[in-house]
């Protein structure tokens, strides 16, 4: 696909997807959401890709939210459709990918931008990052999973306060809340993510995909996460990765996945 709003590179089994609308602070219009869906699907099935890094272009924003211009005149029905389609195509899609996705929050991550970062499997922020869900200031609520994923990550009370005030928190507050795993300088952000990615790549991609599914199951209504774990654990025993991992251990060598 010829991307208009994304840049994609792959090196050393790490694919980097950069949302590239810096003049609009990388706001998510529908074309960008479509392109992101395609890019994530492509990277997830690409045998050369073992970890996906997601960031925003420029040094000001990760993503400043859904594109407000696009939905300013929407009806109730179109609003519902916007949220449903966006969640299916991008936010739930990313959260459920088997390939690990790390969001690199390099500036503003607001509204749909923070929701996208929260859909990733974990987050690293630069010390310049600012995060918030300001939707109530526009007369709407977060529609791309924010009311669900923010309390899962930081707890109900803190999520209530952030969503009701619509305010922004800085990187150190986000770290204290557990919203991001690491805070580094902007210059160190990509290297920090690549360092973590290189540790992930040493492990079984199949087992990692199964672990993501089992962890996510614990946050899904009507699904028994413990049962999902039992099934995923059993599934691993039938894979070449399991044979390689256990054989390498017994032969006192490093596994080659």
Confirm or reject binding of residue 116 to ligand CAA (CB under 6 A): no
Catalytic residue among 77, 135, 188, 244: 135
- Sole window of 111-119, 150-158, 218-226, 236-244 interacting with ligand CAA (rule: CB under 6 A): 111-119
Residue number, 121 or 130, with CB nearest to ligand CAA: 130
Instruction: Find, among 108, 38, 112, the residue nearest to 70 by Cα.
Output: 112
- The contact pattern for ligand CAA, residues 196-215, with x = CB under 6 A and - = no contact, is --------------------
Task: Name which position in 51, 55, 108, 180 contacts ligand CAA (CB under 6 A).
Answer: 108
Strand order from edge to edge, sheet including 168-170: 61-63, 108-110, 130-132, 168-170
Residue number, 45 or 152, with CB nearest to ligand CAA: 152
Residue number, 141 or 243, with CB nearest to ligand CAA: 141
Catalytic residue among 35, 70, 115, 176: 115
Task: Name which position in 19, 25, 53, 208 contacts ligand CAA (CB under 6 A).
Answer: 25
104 phi/psi in degrees, rounded to 5: -105, 105
Residue number, 72 or 250, with CB nearest to ligand CAA: 72
DSSP H/E element including 199: helix 189-201
Instruction: Find, among 55, 56, 65, 91, the residue nearest to 168 by Cα.
Output: 65
Size of the site for ligand CAA (CB under 6 A): 21
The C-alpha atoms of residue 63 and residue 193 are separated, in whole angstroms, by 18
- Per the annotation, the verdict on 115 as an active-site residue is yes
Confirm or reject binding of residue 112 to ligand CAA (CB under 6 A): yes
Please report, in angstroms and rounded to a whole number, the separation of the first and last CA atoms in the chain. Answer: 29
Confirm or reject binding of residue 110 to ligand CAA (CB under 6 A): yes
Q: E strands of the chain, at which residues?
A: 6-11, 14-19, 51-56, 61-63, 101-105, 108-110, 122-126, 130-132, 168-170, 182-184
The C-alpha atoms of residue 220 and residue 203 are separated, in whole angstroms, by 26
Phi-psi bin for 13: left (phi > 0), alpha (psi -120 to 50), beta?
left
Residues 50-79 that bind ligand CAA (CB under 6 A): 64-69
Applying CB under 6 A, the residues found at the interface with ligand CAA are 24-25, 27, 64-69, 108, 110-112, 115, 134-135, 138, 142-144, 146
């Amino acid at each position: 696909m010829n991307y208009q709003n994304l840049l994609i590179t792959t090196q050393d089994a790490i694919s980097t997807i950069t949302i590239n609308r810096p003049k609009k602070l990388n706001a998510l219009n529908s074309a960008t959401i479509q392109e992101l869906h395609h890019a994530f699907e492509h990277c997830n099935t690409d045998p050369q890709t073992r970890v996906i890094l997601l960031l925003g272009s420029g040094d000001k924003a990760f993503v400043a939210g859904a594109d407000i211009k696009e939905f300013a005149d929407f009806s109730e029905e179109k609003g519902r459709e916007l949220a449903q389609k966006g969640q299916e195509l991008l936010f739930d899609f990313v959260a459920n990918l088997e390939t690990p996705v790390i969001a690199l929050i390099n500036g503003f991550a607001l509204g749909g931008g923070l929701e996208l970062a929260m859909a990733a499997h974990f987050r690293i922020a630069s010390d310049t990052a600012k995060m918030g869900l300001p939707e109530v200031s526009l007369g709407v609520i977060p529609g791309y999973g924010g009311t669900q994923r923010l309390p899962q990550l930081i707890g109900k009370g803190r999520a209530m306060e952030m969503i009701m005030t619509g305010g922004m928190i800085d990187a150190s507050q986000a770290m204290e809340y557990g919203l991001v795993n690491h805070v580094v300088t902007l210059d160190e952000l990509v290297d920090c993510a690549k360092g973590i990615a290189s540790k992930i790549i040493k492990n079984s991609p199949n087992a990692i995909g199964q672990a993501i599914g089992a962890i996510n199951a614990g946050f899904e209504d009507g699904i028994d996460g413990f049962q999902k774990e039992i099934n995923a654990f059993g599934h691993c025993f039938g894979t070449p990765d399991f044979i390689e991992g256990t054989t390498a251990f017994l032969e006192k060598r490093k596994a080659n996945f």
